[in-house]
Amino acid sequence: MITKVDYQPWLQAILTIAKHYRIEPSEERVRLQLDWNQNQNLDEVLTLIGRQVGLSIRRVKFSNDVINPWRLPVLVELADGQVGVIDKADGTGHVSIQLSGDQGLAQKFAVGALKHIVKNVFILRPEKSVPDARIDEYIKPYQPSWFWSIVLSDWKRYIDIMFASMIANVLALATIVFSMQVYDRVVPSQSIPTLWVLAGGVLIAAIFEFVLRISRVYISDIIGKRADLRISDRVFGHALRIKNSERSKSTGTFISQIRELEGVRELVTSTTLGAIADLPFFFLFLFIFA
């Protein structure tokens, strides 16, 4: 008959070692697996825990090589049944042991005394290399900003807007040229035909300018609406998928963060795009009038 093994101290010790290797398994899932697979011997229990956690387990004999600082931490079972983790060893012949149930508190033991009370020693190592978050952050490939990738996805239309703004603003100079020609040529010579020609040219320029500005507003509205839908889908979709544990504890703070999206969406509206497109010509007109 197989004696049921109390897995609680073993699980705590193995989780301590897993934390050392930056492995964060689901403790509840491991407990469910252990409760489901009862009536197993110690080796089978340890193998099951190691498989669920992601650690390979090997039983060895206690020796000075085992408590080498380069090989720590190791799992030990004492003669009285207690389970612990040897996590540190100093040069004075003492080791530090965290016993299960002590909430991470460590005790010091002399290596000579430890040889007489250690019953079993287990070496645990990750089954696969654990990624270092610092290294991954350093070597990860460049990822462009999702915001600008959405906004600039229609960059060709922005060129059309800039071109339309340039033509419209150049045509806006027709009124200035008209005034100069009237005072320089029409008024002194009383040339009415010249006045009609100039007035017709200004009228045609004004019509073209009006059409270009209406077209620019239409294109800007389409681009802004498309970018607005994409940004809203990205942000609100991400907000709906946030885990409750990662969500802000204050509902007001979370809502205010979502509300700040309005300021971002204003950047892609037709008014903003038109102002940015007309900005260079402000300096042009300032130079002409100066």
Q: What is the pLDDT of residues 12-37, one digit of tens each?
A: 888 888 888 888 877 778 787 777 77
Domains and CATH numbers, the chain: 8-135 (3.90.70.10), 141-289 (no CATH)
Rounded CA-CA distance 236/21 in Å is 36
Q: Is residue 103 predicted with pLDDT exceeding 60?
A: yes
The rounded percent of the chain whose pLDDT value lies above 70 is 87
Query: What is the structure's pLDDT at 235?
Result: 78
**pLDDT tier at 94, thresholds 50, 70, 90:** confident
**pLDDT tier at 136, thresholds 50, 70, 90:** low
User: Is residue 30 classed as helix, strand or coil in its secondary structure?
Assistant: helix
Nearest to 106 by CA among 90, 124, 85: 85
Where is pLDDT greater, at 128 or 172?
172
Q: Looking at residues 8-12, what average pLDDT do you find?
A: 83
Query: What is the structure's pLDDT at 139?
Result: 63
Output b/e per residue, 270-279; b: 16+ Cβ within 10 A. Answer: beebbeebbe
Q: Looking at residues 32-56, what average pLDDT do you find?
A: 79
Query: What is the structure's pLDDT at 138?
Result: 63
Q: Interhelix angle for 192-240 vs 270-289, to 10°?
A: 140
Q: Looking at residues 95-122, what average pLDDT do you find?
A: 81
Least confident span in 93-102, 189-198, 224-233, 265-274: 265-274
Q: What is the dihedral of CA 133, 135, 136, 140, to 10 degrees?
A: 150
Least confident span in 75-84, 90-99, 240-249: 240-249
Where is pLDDT greater, at 38 or 88?
88
Contact 71, 123 (CB under 8 A): yes
Read off the pLDDT of residues 176-195 as tens digits, 9 standing for 90 and up.
888 888 888 777 888 888 88
Residue type, 276: I
pTM, full prediction: 0.44
**pLDDT tier at 1, thresholds 50, 70, 90:** very low
Where is pLDDT greater, at 9 or 104?
9
Q: Looking at residues 44-50, what average pLDDT do you find?
A: 82
Q: Is residue 259 predicted with pLDDT exceeding 70?
A: yes
Average pLDDT, the chain: 79
Q: Is residue 225 predicted with pLDDT exceeding 70?
A: yes
**pLDDT tier at 62, thresholds 50, 70, 90:** confident
Query: What is the structure's pLDDT at 268?
Result: 66
Rounded CA-CA distance 152/154 in Å is 5
Rounded CA-CA distance 137/270 in Å is 38
Q: Is residue 152 predicted with pLDDT exceeding 80?
A: no
Supply φ then ψ for residue 96, to 5 degrees: -105, 130
